[in-house]
Structure 1
């Protein structure tokens, strides 16, 4: 499923929090190199303090958002595995008693 962002609207605080939680410096650096945009420029966009008026910045923001979404999905998958392992462990303890 492809994520489409409406860049005509400003990035709100929810997105800023989302970026903060699900992207790291390495992610910003990776997108910065791939999109040919300065690291600090992209970082400022990430914290909702940058200009997304030009096409290059819009593409970089879109790439960073997609990366953040992928990171969030990986976090969910990891949590689901951990939950299953905890449930299995609890069931073994209960079954032994």
Structure 2
């Protein structure tokens, strides 16, 4: 595997795990969660991704909706669509 314009090889271990040098990838930013008037939680994240010497700014917005056994993560669009369902039930077999 080769990284962007610098074309340096990115080492991959025998077990398939990507081994990235410490200064190769870094993400910094802030996240805010605010309760909306309808009781749902609005999540907004603003970050800067530093990748191999290049910086990229990005923003993510999601809505969190509570369920009896966990919560749903929805895309924050006019028509809310499911992105991820998180199940918080205990595994009874353990």
TM-score (norm 2): 0.19
| Higher strand content, 1 or 2 | 2
| Higher helix content, 1 or 2 | 1
TM-score (norm 1): 0.18
